[in-house]
Amino acid sequence: MIKGTDPIRVVKGVGAKTEELMHNLGVYTVGDILSYFPRDYRIMQEPVKIADVKENAVNAILARTASMPRTRKGRRVAVTSCKASDGFREIELVWFRMPYVKNMLTPGKNQIFYGRVIRRGGKLVMEQPVIYAYEEYAQLTGRLLPVYALTKGISNHLMEKLLSQILPEDTAFPQDPYTDELRERNDLVPLPDAIRIMHAPRDMEALSLSHRRLAFDEFFFFLLGIQRLKGAGSAEKNGFTFADSAFLKETAAKLPYALTEAQQRVLTETAGDMKSDHLMQRLIQGDVGSGKTVIAFLLMAWCAHSGYQAALMAPTEVLAKQHFETIQSYLSLCGLSFPVILLTGSMTAKEKREAYARMENEPDALVIGTHALIQEKAAFSSLALVITDEQHRFGVKQREALSKKGEKPHYLVMSATPIPRTLAIILFGDLSISVIDTLPADRLPIKNCVVGPSYRQKAWEFLTSEVEAGHQCYVICPLVEATEQTEAENVEDYAARLTEALPERIRIETLHGRMKAEEKDRVMEAFLRREADILVSTTVVEVGVNVPNATVMLVENAERFGLSQLHQLRGRVGRGEAQSYCIFLSAREDAATNERLSVLNHSNDGFYIASEDLKLRGPGDFLGIRQSGVLDFQIADVYQDASLLSLAAEEVKRLSEADPELSDPAHEGIRQRLDLTLQKQLEGLNL
Ligand code: ADP
Ligand code: MG
């Protein structure tokens, strides 16, 4: 009997090494692996003749090797290649950094090669093919196959093998937290069924029902969590007395640029809040590049001028350090000399102690940091304002954590995620909303283009020429490393190919979410300092970073991203004076994809793009890569599942009217799951 709380080790086939790798994926228990849902699904096609392969797409061919595999040292990586033939035509097979692939080939015998085919120098080339025995492949064709996010050492096959042992065990599954009435009212399939189907879908319809159920859960518990923490802060008395707000205008006049009208309006609104009888709880939504940081600076300086501390919290170390430097330079530009304190998780114990001491002793300090700011030992002496930048979900809980340290501060959330107003009201129900709806006027609009893979060579030449002109570039790939699903570009292989193709003097770095925090910081800082020319990255660069010298954003597999996310990515360039460019390279050249991407070509307005996104991507399109940029839900998507969000909101309302304390035994399941959710979210804060 396997239980959900059992360590993953109890599953046959998990030894010490696999267990450790599983931990890297956040999988500790049997329950964890059950909720480690596939990232995507694919249907394996019947193999085709080499004469019939589709270029720039993934194909399966049945062929035998027609030459000895050869590994040569490419300019910087090992390249292994050989010819394969199906008796009529030949194709070249190429692997990067995989010399051991030789041992997987059985010369003279037919095998299936599964990978993307491109044309290079007039010849057909299949890149990084996965090799299957024919019988093995035949087993897989025609079924909906789950594709898991993996890590080195954990194959998709292994995930499937482990799950196949767990799925039949009823005792491994969590109990459904809902009452039957709640489930029936909202047409929700039972939780264990939903989980089973996610891992082993019978068909699309079943999958869609499971998705619906799990997305509902995410919304429901998210909203319930907000509910619980809400009320704690609303209509709270304002215990602070601020100096004349003329200070804001006078300080702004010393900046090297004039504030836009929208910035001025938001400044007036926030300052008004802070002088009112109640604590401010406001969300500022401003498109990427609309200039939110300077608002934060002015309000923080006003606090300092009034004898109070203010804190600015960023989601990453890099962004915190960048804000620290920006705020310091704004202060000196404006002739102000308030103390500025940086506090991040990676600082040494001694540095942290010093920062804590200063937070106790400098009542007019501007404090900037990551989540380290809300850890136990960080005590503010006179905190009047907390601003969180670019984080959506944790605002409420962070506020809760901070408010334990004395008088509750004013609270401001800054976000570049363009959430349609109706959704924002549901998600940030307890916050007032301000919108910065114009960009600074002196900005050169970014030049955009949407192109197919045949343009890649040109795009690379363009990267080279921009680097030679002294600029930097981003390349975004959807995946981290090669997986059995080879359709999409991945950072590691792409960087290897780019390194092969571009002149040696061009310095290429890689960045992705699976790197250690310090390693990510090192790379990002090197890029900031212009020690790297091209950054090949996953969407981890999406958040807030300001590298004004970067002028090109090349997004590979643009068809796999949501429009809003692409818009966020585009916001990483066009931040300086030079002309910037954004190239959306789509591997799918059908009309629908082109139409969708062309929205980006025609508009730079994040809110408009978000609403188009919602219109164009009908429901049921969730088999693409999940949109990860918008509000961090695992399954749900605030745009596509908007109607589900309203349903969940209604249920939460109903529940909190009927049983606000969740003391009814029928709601025990909900109470337990809520505690777990809140606990997980709070753990997430300390990363
Ligand atoms: P975001 O809203 O995306 O956080 P930032 O605050 O990083 O944007 O601002 C982007 C860039 O615009 C910064 O380099 C900043 O100095 C500049 N900026 C901000 N406000 C103005 C303005 N009113 N006029 C000109 N440039 C501005
Ligand atoms: Mg910002």
- Ligand located closest to 389 CA: 2
Q: For 241-250, 472-481, 542-551, which range has the lowest pLDDT when averaged over its residues? A: 542-551
- Phi, psi for 613 (deg, rounded to 5): -55, -50
Q: How many CA atoms lie within 13 A of 646 on its CB side?
A: 6
> In ligand 1, which atom is closest to the CA atom of 326?
16
The band of 419, judged by pLDDT with boundaries at 50, 70 and 90, is low
State how many domains the chain has: 4
Read off the DSSP letter of residue 278.
B
Asked which of 97, 124, 141 is the last residue of a domain, the reply is 141
140-154: pLDDT as tens digits: 887 788 989 888 888
Report if residue 670 sits inside a domain.
no
Which pLDDT value is given to residue 619? 33
- What's the angle, vertex CA 610, arms to CA 606 and CA 612, rounded to 5? 115
> What CATH code is carried by the domain that includes residue 119?
2.40.50.140
Q: Is the pLDDT of residue 176 over 50?
A: yes
Which pLDDT value is given to residue 622? 28
> What CATH code is carried by the domain that includes residue 554?
3.40.50.300
Task: Please compute the mean of the pLDDT values over residues 553-577 and round it to a whole number.
Answer: 88
Shared domain for 57 and 7, answered yes or no, is no
Which pLDDT value is given to residue 95? 93
Establish whether residue 291 lines the binding site of ligand 1, counting it when its CB lies within 6 angstroms of any ligand atom.
Answer: yes
Q: For 65-69, 169-173, 420-424, 546-550, which range has the lowest pLDDT when averaged over its residues? A: 420-424
Q: Is the pLDDT of residue 393 over 50?
A: no
Shared domain for 252 and 343, answered yes or no, is yes
Beta-carbon contacts of 618 under 8 Å, excluding residues fewer than 6 positions away, are none
Read off the DSSP letter of residue 479.
B
604-621: pLDDT as tens digits: 777 777 767 666 654 333
- Ligand located closest to 287 CA: 1
Residue 630 CB neighbour total at 10 angstroms: 21
Q: Which residue has the higher pLDDT, 621 or 452?
A: 452
Shared domain for 495 and 428, answered yes or no, is no
Report if residue 189 sits inside a domain.
no
Shared domain for 396 and 457, answered yes or no, is no
CA distance from start to end of the chain = 34
Which pLDDT value is given to residue 391? 66
Shared domain for 370 and 453, answered yes or no, is no
Shared domain for 39 and 111, answered yes or no, is no
The band of 380, judged by pLDDT with boundaries at 50, 70 and 90, is confident
Establish whether residue 288 lines the binding site of ligand 1, counting it when its CB lies within 6 angstroms of any ligand atom.
Answer: yes
Ligand 1 centroid vs 577 CA: distance in angstroms? 12
Report yes or no: 464 and 501 within 8 Å, Cβ to Cβ. no
Shared domain for 164 and 267, answered yes or no, is no
Shared domain for 481 and 582, answered yes or no, is yes
Residue nearest to atom 20 of ligand 1 (CA): 291
Q: Is the pLDDT of residue 231 over 70?
A: no
d(CA 58, CA 201): 22
> In ligand 1, which atom is closest to the CA atom of 548?
14
Report if residue 647 sits inside a domain.
no
Report if residue 354 sits inside a domain.
yes
Report if residue 162 sits inside a domain.
yes
| Count of all residues that appear for the chain in the document | 687
Shared domain for 267 and 239, answered yes or no, is yes
d(CA 138, CA 125): 23
Which pLDDT value is given to residue 426? 58
Residue nearest to atom 18 of ligand 1 (CA): 291
The band of 623, judged by pLDDT with boundaries at 50, 70 and 90, is very low
Report yes or no: 194 and 213 within 8 Å, Cβ to Cβ. yes
Distance of CA 255 to the CA centre of its chain: 33
Report if residue 126 sits inside a domain.
yes
What percent of the chain is predicted at pLDDT more than 90?
Answer: 52
Shared domain for 160 and 243, answered yes or no, is no
Ligand 1 centroid vs 289 CA: distance in angstroms? 5
d(CA 43, CA 1): 33
> In ligand 1, which atom is closest to the CA atom of 290?
2
Asked which of 405, 436, 467 is the last residue of a domain, the reply is 436
Report if residue 90 sits inside a domain.
yes
Shared domain for 493 and 580, answered yes or no, is yes
Task: Please compute the mean of the pLDDT values over residues 258-283 and round it to a whole number.
Answer: 93
Shared domain for 300 and 411, answered yes or no, is yes
Report if residue 660 sits inside a domain.
no
Output the six-digit token pair for 89: 């035509």
Residue-range definition of the domain harbouring residue 5: 1-43+143-168
Instruction: Kindly give the pairing relationship between strand 78-85 and strand 57-65.
Output: antiparallel
Which pLDDT value is given to residue 229? 60
Beta-carbon contacts of 271 under 8 Å, excluding residues fewer than 6 positions away, are 242, 245, 248, 299, 302
